Amino acid sequence: MFVLREIAISLTFFVLLYCCLSLAVVFGWRRLKMLRLSQKSLADILFLARILPMLGSVSFTCAFVIPSFQLLEPRGIDEDTGILPVALGVTAIVLIALGCYRVFQAQISTARIVAEWLADAQPHQSGSYTVCSRPDVPPLTLVGLRNPRVLISDLTVGLLTEDEMGTALRHERAHISSCDNLKKLILQFCPFPSMAQLESAWAEATELAADDAAVSDANDAVDLAAALVKLSRLVPIRSAPICTMGFVTGSLGLRVARLLAWNGTWRQSPSFPAWATVCMLLSAVTVLVFTYGPALVITHEITELLIR
């Protein structure tokens, strides 16, 4: 009974915190777009905001709710759990199951479609990409989580010049180093309504960040813009699976306009400073160390309220 009560209380805390944090993110994330940061930092911050509800609620439950129950709840007393914790516990299980299902579904459907694309694919002699001849392959796309690779349709190979291909590949390599496919999969695990706009803002920021990483001078910028416009004319037959990063995504007009206005100043946009991250982490750890005991007591008082 003690263990069942502990599970119900932990799940209740988890789901309540998850919903509160998600609502805070839904209503507050637009302020993040006003930060004057590089697109890379903005993409990282938007991603962090999107996964914050899951990360925060899991961390809080594991760090406070479970220990407070273990340490402060008397084991001998047989208390009723109450309807509310049971109902919220079931909601939490449904939420977690939904997240797992979405991840599983995204992985399975992506793997199936990519396997079809790769059926008669040939790796290019340079080894940097794979050429696919099927008509439904997107012009240029990044697939795979552990061993990501760039797939290019044979139409694309004929359409782009060597320089344009070079910048387009650098763009995709930037997605590889940011693990963007993996991040897309992680987002599937955090379901909550009204997050679509935040996810699309994150996707746009990742594309702009990859553009920034691919370009080192004005000629590169023009080559990348030209590759974008050329490949936009190749209309994909079906929409791309979830865990892939297409080259022609986001607002085409914005991306091309940005590239044509390139003057070497992107790199001067401030990144989120590493020292600030370290300071924030150190402060959080210090506060946690000094307030952990009282925080456990308060958490346990709240759990008592929930049970009653």
Partner 1 sequence: MLRTTSSPRLGPFEHRLLEEVWARGNVTVRELLADGTISQAYTTVMTTMDRLYKKGLLDRAAEGRAFRYKARVTQAELQRNAAMDGIARLLESSSASSRPLSYLVEAVSAHDAELLNELQILIERKRRELKDKVESRRVQGGEQA
Residue that is written with structure tokens 């010049």 in the block: 161
157 binds partner 1 (CB under 8 A): no
Residues in the chain: 308
Find the binder of partner 1 among 105, 109, 177, 219 (CB under 8 A): 219
Tell me the window of 36-44, 46-54, 115-123, 223-231 that interacts with partner 1 (CB under 8 A).
223-231
What does the angle CA 10 – CA 12 – CA 17 come to, to the nearest 5 degrees? 95
257-276: which residues touch partner 1 (CB under 8 A)? 260
* Residue partners of 81: CB distance under 8 A and separation at least 6: 4, 5, 8, 9, 307
Using the rule CB under 8 A, give the single segment among 24-32, 49-57, 89-97, 216-224 that binds partner 1. Answer: 216-224
Radius of gyration of the chain (CA): 24
- Region binding partner 1 by CB under 8 A among candidate stretches 191-199, 219-227, 267-275, 296-304: 219-227
> Is 248 an interacting residue with respect to partner 1 (CB under 8 A)?
no
Q: Which of 222, 242, 243, 296 is the binder for partner 1 (CB under 8 A)? A: 222
Residue 233 is a binding residue for partner 1 (CB under 8 A):
yes
Strand (E) or helix (H) holding 40 = helix 39-60
Q: How far is the CB of 109 from partner 1 (least distance, A)?
A: 25
Q: Candidates 12-20, 55-63, 202-210, 218-226 — which segment interacts with partner 1 by CB under 8 A?
A: 218-226
Pairing mode, if any, of strands 130-132 and 149-153? parallel
Minimum CB distance to partner 1, residue 267 (Å): 19
SS (H, E, C) 208-263: HHHHHHHCCCHHHHHHHHHHHHHHHCCCCCCCCCCCEEECCCCCHHHHHHHHHCCC
Q: What residue type is 188 in one-letter code?
A: Q
The site that binds partner 1 (CB under 8 A) totals a number of residues, namely 12
Q: Using the rule CB under 8 A, is 232 a contact of partner 1? A: yes
Residue 256 contacts partner 1 per CB under 8 A: yes
Query: Between 8 and 256, whose beta carbon lies closer to partner 1?
Result: 256
Region near partner 1 per CB under 8 A, out of 18-26, 251-259, 274-282, 297-305: 251-259
Q: In what order do the strands lie in the sheet with 140-143?
A: 122-123, 130-132, 149-153, 140-143, 244-246
Exposed, middle or buried by CB within 10 Å (0-12, 13-18, 19+), for 80?
exposed
Q: Is residue 159 within the footprint of partner 1 (CB under 8 A)?
A: no
- If one asks whether residue 155 binds partner 1 (CB under 8 A), the answer comes out as no
Which residues of the chain form contacts with partner 1 (CB under 8 A)? Answer: 218-219, 222, 225-226, 229, 232-233, 252-253, 256, 260
